[in-house]
Structure 1
Amino acid sequence: MKIPVFLFLFLAILAVFMTIGFIVQRTRLAVLRKRLKIAMHNSVEISTFLSLFSKNMKTRADIDNWMNVTARYVSELVDAQSVCVFALEGELLKPVGVSGPFPLFHKTTSSYIMTKPKYLMEQLRRERIPIGEGIVGRVAQTRKEVMLNGEDLTGARLYITDPLVPIECVMAIPIISEGVVTGVICAVNNVQENHSFFTAEQFGRFKFIAGQVELAQRILEAYSKLSEQQRLNQELEFARNLQRSLLPETFPVWGFFSVQAFTRASKEVSGDFYDFVQIDDDRLLVVIGDACGKGIPACMVTAMTRSFIRANIDRFTSLMDLLLELNDNLYRDAGAGRYITLGCCLLNRRDSTLEYARGGHTELLIYIREHIRSIFPDGAGIGLLPSEDVEFDTLCIEFSPNMSVLMFTDGINEATSPKNGEYFGVSRLTELYRESCLNKDEPAAFIQKTIHAVDEFAQTPNGDGQEDDQTMVMIRHI
């Protein structure tokens, strides 16, 4: 049977359009994946930046030093030898934060100054750049970012005179707030081993973080104007919004694992947290934490912990290594007496296994074969001791049908009766957990029932008057 010419042409054209559509769809998916990866990376950077901000904002001296901290963070993020943040005062740009040997605008007879951040900042504070002068001044004038490498720098200077430090490459971006230029941020010289000059990827990171520097400037300005009470309210609102944004919006189903969680604060902000971090196609890390203390300091420790885990989880092959390096970071950076307890469940949906480790946290309750078992692997609170003095044991179990595990913070079992000062206790929690599992209650129903029982025991209806933050995470086989 002979196919009519018009039908043959129609089928050929249809095939072409289908092929084009397939190619376009694949391209769109690739673009979306790239955008998602960038968005996730940016989210981690914002969280890290805000955690760093909160940690360093305690006294007036901290406020004055904050832009130096910001410059150091930016230089590490973009791999620059030095970074300087300028604020616009009238028609002049004034250095307000510096990291590394940033070139002075006027020659100095002493190279020693360049090795001492304190003296370098004192020298820089005397400098002023008129708008339109040099690279920095022109960026403020034109409102356009620049990246200059090698020969691009011919005839271009940061200011008027030649600097003491050789300049091989420069990135400079205007800081714009509500349509008005408020400053410039400038990075000098690339320190990446495989690149002599700044790359487009570094420039992209630099442009992204400039928005966070602008945010820091605005908050600092607000700090200088607010009264102590207003400032406290501002801090609480800032911390509350930050904390809300860090909690996962949905509860994952991961192979045969179903995860449910609950948390509520005793104060305006919480020292408890939970998180779900996908490592690869097979592994999901479920974390619960309880920072020492309450309020903003505890909230900031949880934010630092979450940021570290999310930013570094890909580098570790074991929970023990992850907890050891996290312990190093918190012990060094969180300050004396600041630590956090953690419970970590690593779920592998390929072979249906659960690996558990803890750092000073409450026991893990496991429901298996109609019985409850309490698990206490060794491990001190994270950040409490130097890593050479701590060890973190791990336990790996096969997650079988009808099995579940429960992690909780001590705000649950240490809820106190006002009648006799008795704790709610792990035994009551264990009995509720066992009954719920035997009845095959949904995890959300079990959590609601438990919270109601705790409130009734402690006489804290809907958590009103609770003494400590309360968090639970339940993982069930489905």
Structure 2
Amino acid sequence: MDGILGPLVFVLLVIGVLAGVAKFLSYVRDVEMARDDAVRRYQENMTFLTEFTSKLGAVEEVHQALQLVVHHLAAECDAESLAIFVDLGEEEDEQAVRGAAVAGPFPTFRPAPDVVQRRPQYRLQHLLHEVFKYGETAIGIVAESRRSILVADASEAGPTLALPKEMRTFVAVPMVVENHFLGVVCAANRKTVGKGFTQEHLERLELLSCQAALACNLVRVYADRSYQQLLHQEMSFVQDLQQRLLPTSLPDHGGCKFAALSEPAREVGGDYYDFIQIDEDRMMVVVADAAGKGVSACMLMAMCRAFVHCLADDYTGLEPFLGELNSRLYADTASHHFVTMAIVVVDTNEGTCECGCAGHTPLVFRLPDGRCVNVRPDGPALGMFPEDFGFVFETLSLRLHPGTQLLIHTDGITEACNVEKEEFGFGRLLQVWERERLPAQEFLDTLGEQVRQFVGQAEQYDDQTLVAIDFAGHLKDNEKPVNEPRETAHVGQPT
């Protein structure tokens, strides 16, 4: 008996060792296969990312980028078909998702012609117009709940999911990046193809959905950057245009010294000032404020400037000039687009100043004796009413003393607010004007600094423009000054 047990034990030991070796070899083989599979997937992912990034530069829309991703995701998930739906919340402020990319014969959730399933190009076009509201069909349910759905056997799915009849198995996962919902990725196999999806397929698709999310984000970042670059280029062009429309230098006209200061609230603005030589003796000075801000105001200002220069070529007087300018602006702009304007024509030979005001802030004179008066001839803003409304543009012709100064400003100066929402105000402007008896440019620099100090850290909401004139001419021999600026029916505080 002992002679039999010895060989039997030996045989059993050999069998055990062989079984252990076989199990170990099987384990090694499984590890090698897993390693090879991991290496293969890594290489495939690297190849995909290389191809994706190389093609991304030619992509302009999100659906184009996702179309680069969708075939890769379908292959990785062993899915016959796969579709990606993007959220419409950011683009259209709607709680819904819309088709963006498809690979394979993804079943349609709504009735569609047979050609849609047979032709890939038609299938994509159909999908791009498919919209599912949150909670509508399986896709909308995933979008609303932000939770994945796995349907191993579509025949057992309830009517709430509304799966197509030809679908055998279905899996859908939300695309979420940093708690930000971007859309839904879903895969499907028809009844004639493949096996049912498992939890492994679901987990793999959840892992891979980040690639689709990456594509969405990259395209949106690229598109936003391209838009910002284009916007910057266009804004630079408009800024350059506006600078070209403003005087490049101050005129030297007889006994007058001119100064100007302008600060737009944005990159470009609607304030406009100009000096136009009418003839040897007369200089037209214009300060205008176009309604609105930014590019629209700048374009209105450019139109106004063109009309001003055109009409100045045939200048006969300030009243007809303003009337014709109003008619042209009214004819070529909408009713809510208008321009306020203060305008003076200085005649250095006669020592006179003809003034007009179209809904603008007052012209402020400082006389040689230090008295300050403001002049505001009647007249509506330009482009607001047609000429048959019966209004007139009042003008004043004033003879100036040598040493008289004139200040013209836009309401961005007096309406400049500090952090307490208190306005700088016309009263403060007059105080500085009366106190600081300086040459034109020095005064504007001083006033501008006073406004900046008052405003402090508060944001500038309106364009700010100042123009000052020093009249240093002399009267003709034996001539006394008449009609100097004084408080009359058309001289008073701004309303």
Using the size of structure 1 for normalisation, the TM-score is 0.50
Greater Rg, structure 1 or structure 2? 2
